[in-house]
Structure 1
């Protein structure tokens, strides 16, 4: 039987893995908070790295792990017993032995807890299961004899199932000596309250357009950083995905199509819908268009509430949002439609509804709402 090579669950497609990323942009406050705790001897055994998906939580976890494993635990004194200077950065030279071993996946002091294969071994499991946590327990037990630091990265902690979460909780309640656990969490509210209470939180913020441009350049992705910043909500991971999938052009198509409302350009609507049903990457295209339409509706609702239509995610978008959602009553209508279409899209994907039909249904309902608002 041919062995199946599974993708890494903690890698953004088209971007370097966090272990290969040397620089972290826009998260200086989180790094400084960790370094201050380290320098003052208040290094907590459990750290919860939170914030929107794709803003650098995993990259920070790998930077912290690299720093801890490359820094001798007893390096606390300087010449003649004077205190050593407090570290001002998590940077470790890329040619450092620890950095090289981590890039190769061969660092004995590091364990990465993430989703493993399903029972058949042909796909990744949808969650982190308790068997993976048992491997972590074995790692901590076997490596304890070596002394020194050990670091565990959990990516992502909100993917733990109940049994796995309870098993991890026991490790947090009785942390092994010299072990530091770094939990990446996109939705920390999904974690057990007892897990959250036993960790110190480091919250990462969305990136500004300049920081996003730096992160994109570092990942080898090119695109309009100001527009990508709006569409991705400051998430470098989401921005890379949009670049790789042609998200900027797709959103521009949506804006141009809906500029015809409340008299929908039906041939253009059919063309856009049929693009999601073409062979080769159709599922990815459908998911992209659904996500972008969902975002467009959310921006319509927000524009009507706040009276602010910018900044633009596509040329002409601000004027379109202001015209279609000029007041709070319109905002409520768009918000209701946003919720309704979101549920219909999830149901349509679950029952494998024809992609073109699913998108056309969404477009026609948006057209109907625009027409009803125009008559008020």
Structure 2
């Protein structure tokens, strides 16, 4: 087993997207792709967009498996063309499916952030050499009817040189090649890349779909149905976010955050100190990052409550609706929470960048929230 960093395209605690044979909750996106395939309007570039963790990578691997395992449709003149495929499903015993699962399919190339050989650490971005590797891939003899598929996960990670190199391939794509670009923030991509791709947008999952998708990953679900509902609300329909919450005890962290908000404007200092210490523990970098994300979520839900006049329909923590309604009772208060959210996010990210003490950063954030609650 390798001692290097985990793959950049795999969520910790979840199977790799190539290992997920089924995709839950994205029937519309799959149907759109199959319609284009059946009509022989298969675009050479596809941009798979949507929130993090809703199945974009799983869909990309499903499309790749389907394209490489499905022979071109031919009309034999006597019986006509066979009916078009109705699903992207491929028999797991199909040779292509087996090769993809083993990481040995010659017609497929996967581009992700790579390991820097000098430091043995994962790079922060996809570099131009990662994209140039495709030139060798395209130069290999074609297999399985000549199809080739490239998955870029994620296109958001490309630096400028890598993006320009990929753009050239989109402008002059090799024959019978399909490029699948995964993007959480397509607006940040080069407009010329977006214009040369057809977009498939994936939607957040509802609670039932979320539970089914999490079961497929083998994640240990909360035994309490209320906890499952709160998990779905906090994850906003993202399986990836839900897995992160499960692995880092995120539901408990968010419940503590709501309890601290419930004490405002007086502030339960003992509880605030305990929360800050949680972020400062050795090896708690991921938990600290999650806590900052949960603070962003709480502030957004506060602002939305005041703006709409109602708390979110699904609570993400016990007593959350009552706390949000009390602290953000009108549009004026909503504006105040929205403004402090922008300030806190900026200060928190700056604090991370200059390595400020996590506990001090959390306490500073709580004090800012106290000031806003006091009005």
Q: TM-score, normalised by structure 2?
A: 0.95
Q: Secondary structure of the residue that 2:22 maps to in structure 1? A: coil
Deviation for aligned residue 1:219: 0.9
- Structure 2: distance between partners of 1:296 and 1:368: 16
Deviation for aligned residue 1:261: 1.0
- Structure 1: distance between partners of 2:182 and 2:76: 34
Contact 2:171 2:196 in 1 (8 A): yes
- Structure 1: distance between partners of 2:31 and 2:197: 17
- Structure 2: distance between partners of 1:102 and 1:142: 17
Contact 1:210 1:225 in 2 (8 A): no
Give the structure 2 partner of residue 141 of structure 1: 139
The aligned runs of 1:239-278 (5 Å cut-off) are 239-278=242-281
Among 178, 183, 186, the alignment partner of 2:184 is: 186
Give unpaired runs (5+ residues) of structure 1.
none
Deviation for aligned residue 1:80: 3.2
Q: TM-score, normalised by structure 1?
A: 0.95
Question: Structure 1 stretch 209-218 or stretch 77-86: which is displaced more?
Answer: 77-86
Give the structure 1 partner of residue 197 of structure 2: 199
Residue 360, structure 1, aligned to residue 363, structure 2: yes
Q: CA RMSD in A?
A: 1.6
- Structure 1: distance between partners of 2:250 and 2:188: 29
Among 281, 284, 309, the alignment partner of 1:282 is: 284
Give unpaired runs (5+ residues) of structure 2.
none
Deviation for aligned residue 1:122: 1.5
Deviation for aligned residue 1:4: 4.6
Contact 2:71 2:145 in 1 (8 A): no
Q: Secondary structure of the residue that 1:189 maps to in structure 2? A: helix
- Structure 1: distance between partners of 2:17 and 2:92: 14
Give the structure 1 partner of residue 335 of structure 2: 332
Q: Secondary structure of the residue that 1:276 maps to in structure 2? A: helix
Among 295, 298, 301, the alignment partner of 1:296 is: 298
Deviation for aligned residue 1:147: 5.3
Give the structure 2 partner of residue 28 of structure 1: 27
Deviation for aligned residue 1:121: 3.8
The aligned runs of 1:306-325 (5 Å cut-off) are 306-310=308-312, 311-325=314-328
Number of aligned residue pairs: give it.
369
Contact 1:227 1:313 in 2 (8 A): yes
Q: Secondary structure of the residue that 1:7 maps to in structure 2? A: coil
Deviation for aligned residue 1:271: 1.0
The aligned runs of 1:30-69 (5 Å cut-off) are 30-69=29-68
Contact 2:126 2:158 in 1 (8 A): yes
- Structure 2: distance between partners of 1:317 and 1:266: 19
Contact 1:78 1:84 in 2 (8 A): no
- Structure 2: distance between partners of 1:272 and 1:316: 19
TM superposition outliers: structure 1 runs of 4+ over 6 Å: none
Residue 160, structure 1, aligned to residue 148, structure 2: no
CA 1:355–1:319 in structure 2 vs 1: closer, same or farther (change >3 Å)? Answer: same
**What are the superposed Cα offsets for residues 113-154 of structure 1, whole Å, 9 maximum, x if unpaired?**
111122524211111111011111110112348851110001
Among 201, 210, 213, the alignment partner of 2:211 is: 213
